[in-house]
Structure 1
Amino acid sequence: MNGVTIDAPAPEAAPQPQPTPPARRYLWPVLVGAWALLLLVLAIWSARNDPPSLRDQTTAASAKATIDQVVGQVTAGVPAGWTIQDKGYAEKACSLSAARDGVAVTRTLTVSGPVGGESATVEALAATLPDAVTRPADGPKEGFYHDAGNYVAVRGKVIGEGAVSVDLSSGCRVP
């Protein structure tokens, strides 16, 4: 070989990364921390201020308070000549979940009076409860349904001659 040398171009130096300014380095952790704090504050506020969205988030005591209020309304609507018998509270154990037991509360009122006045009594009792739905829609009334709020159901029905039953039930709740 003749001694010819070819000079290769010199390799370019790779650009060195510029150091991140200190203010930008801490921006993401600060933003994540602020977001976590905001979520924590909103969760605490929601737990204290929002109403329950499920029946099993309420207690049997709160259901009894609602039932007592409705019993007062129904008692006020009993027609003259009719008597009311309050059987009190009946509590039954139930299961809220596989790991948690609850209690279902029921209170039954029996209204007794003259034979033939059952339909009028059902209408009178339903009239004391706002938005109560009577059945059947046409003709003599045989019963009614009312949502009392706080997940309490009120059902009234003719149970015999001269007798109407009103059942107030809470469903399964925390004891």
Structure 2
Amino acid sequence: MTIDAPAPEAAPQPRPTPPARRYLWPALVAAWAVLLVVLAVWSARNDPPSLRDQTTAASAKATIDEVVGQVTARVPAGATIQDKGYAEKACSLSAARDGVSLVRTLTVSGPVGDESATVVALAAALPDAVTRPADGLKEGFYYDAGNYVAVRGKITGEGTVTVDLSSGCRVP
């Protein structure tokens, strides 16, 4: 007995896509790519740095100089200030990239016994400076100057308050 195979059916012919739909996906992909490139370029030029090592030592010096001006303007009467200038130290940003760390030290000398008042006066020159301890005679202060610059002041001896402004490791 023989069985005849069914006759093959003709495959349905694909319907041609309308011309407007044919170019829709490539146009959307191209528009998306252009948008991403435009946003990347805008972001690279306008967004602030999100890491300290994305900033330069020159920008840190500008911030430090501004804070030094604020602090020296509030030195109490009868006190003298000594600026030791910048101390630069080589550091490593990554395994393949070297950087530089900046520290500027100010020493304020005044009458013995007025150290706490000097700390309070210097901290008052900086908005949002945090003094320590919270209660009682002040022994020091901390201030975030922005641009990844830290300002720390503390009593270091009789009649002496030292203020350190440090930048951390940055691109030279």
Distance 1:96 1:116 in 2: 42
Q: Match for residue 41 of structure 2?
A: 44
2:156 pairs with 1:159:
yes
Question: Match of 2:59, as an amino acid?
Answer: S
How far did residue 39 of structure 1 move? 0.3
2:172 pairs with 1:169:
no
CA displacement 1:112-141 (0-9 Å, x = unmatched):
011101000000000010000000111111
Of 128-137 and 17-26, more deviation after overlay is shown by 17-26
2:14 pairs with 1:28:
no
How far did residue 8 of structure 1 move? 6.9
CA displacement 1:141-163 (0-9 Å, x = unmatched):
10000000111000000000010
Return 5+ residue gaps in structure 2 as ranges.
none
Alignment of 1:26-175 (within 5 A): 26-175=23-172
RMSD: 1.7
Distance 2:6 2:128 in 1: 91
How far did residue 7 of structure 1 move? 7.7
How far did residue 24 of structure 1 move? 2.5
How far did residue 9 of structure 1 move? 5.6
Return 5+ residue gaps in structure 1 as ranges.
none
How far did residue 34 of structure 1 move? 1.1
* Larger Rg belongs to: 1
Q: TM-score, normalised by structure 1?
A: 0.92
Distance 1:147 1:78 in 2: 19
Which secondary structure does the structure 2 equivalent of 1:63 belong to? helix
Distance 1:54 1:164 in 2: 31
